[in-house]
């Protein structure tokens, strides 16, 4: 299931503007959109700890119920859970008057999605031979749902960056598929349907409307 992390890291790297290194005293302050490599890991760890704390704490019972109810469509169940975790983290940051670069929240969300996928795996909701595909699709659905719910709170720059991250991850997935590394697996139709829904919702996020 590590594939989702690797895909997301590549997506974030591709979406991040390439800037020449500057001496520490000349570096601009973080703008809330672009990741600062010096602080990104710490920010991500704080977000991940918060998300996993909720997943295995207050949201554990509801997460298990959602996964059981979505056995026929685990992509949707994973998407709902992860969207809630990302949205709660984003709201906490905003309520505190702080900002979080989209790339940082994107990476934290991927780790949360992996944890939800492992939970679904232990419950027998998804098969090990296609868990990465289901989790990736669930994560992409979660991003679309998160974008729709929070579009009004986002700046134009944030919406643009989330769109770039989604595009980067989709491109990475297409390249992996075209490389012939994976054979078609059971459940592809379900994942494709979810991605179609993600594309429509992602477009709405980019436009800033629900």
Is 3 part of any domain?
Answer: no
Q: Supply the DSSP string of 147-187, one letter for each residue.
A: HHHHGGGS-HHHHHHHHHHHHHHHHHHHHHHHTT-S---TT
Is 201 part of any domain?
Answer: yes
Q: Looking at the chain, how many residues does it have? A: 210
Task: For residue 203, give its domain range.
Answer: 37-177+186-207
Express each pLDDT in 75-126 by its tens digit: 999 999 999 999 999 999 999 999 899 999 999 999 999 999 999 999 999 9
Express each pLDDT in 9-55 by its tens digit: 555 555 554 444 444 444 444 456 877 878 899 999 999 999 999 99
pLDDT for 33: 80
Is 112 part of any domain?
Answer: yes
Q: Which of 119, 123, 134, 132 is nearest to 79 (CA)?
A: 134
The tally of domains found in the chain comes to: 1
- The DSSP letter of residue 27 is P
Is 28 part of any domain?
Answer: no
Is 133 part of any domain?
Answer: yes
Is 55 part of any domain?
Answer: yes
Contacts of 47 (CB under 8 A, 6+ apart): 89, 100, 104, 105, 108
Other beta carbons within 10 Å of 6: 12
Q: What is the pTM of this model?
A: 0.74
């Amino acid at each position: 299931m590590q594939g989702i992390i690797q895909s997301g890291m590549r997506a974030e790297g591709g979406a991040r503007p390439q800037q020449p290194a500057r001496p520490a005293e000349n570096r601009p302050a973080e703008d809330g959109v672009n990741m600062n490599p010096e602080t990104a890991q710490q920010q991500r760890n704080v977000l991940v700890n918060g998300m996993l704390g909720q997943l295995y704490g207050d949201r554990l019972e509801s997460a298990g119920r959602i996964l059981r109810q979505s056995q026929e469509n685990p992509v949707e169940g994973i998407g709902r859970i992860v969207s809630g975790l990302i949205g709660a983290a984003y709201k906490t940051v905003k309520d505190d008057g702080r900002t979080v670069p989209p790339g940082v929240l994107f990476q934290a969300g991927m780790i949360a999605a992996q944890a939800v996928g492992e939970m679904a795996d232990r419950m027998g909701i998804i098969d090990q031979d296609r868990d990465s595909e289901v989790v990736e699709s669930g994560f992409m659905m979660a991003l679309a749902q998160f974008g729709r719910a929070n579009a009004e709170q986002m700046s134009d720059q944030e919406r643009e960056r989330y769109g770039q991250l989604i595009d980067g991850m989709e491109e990475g997935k297409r390249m992996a598929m075209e490389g012939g590394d994976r054979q078609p697996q059971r459940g592809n139709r379900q994942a494709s349907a979810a991605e179609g829904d993600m594309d429509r919702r992602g477009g709405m996020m980019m436009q800033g409307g629900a």
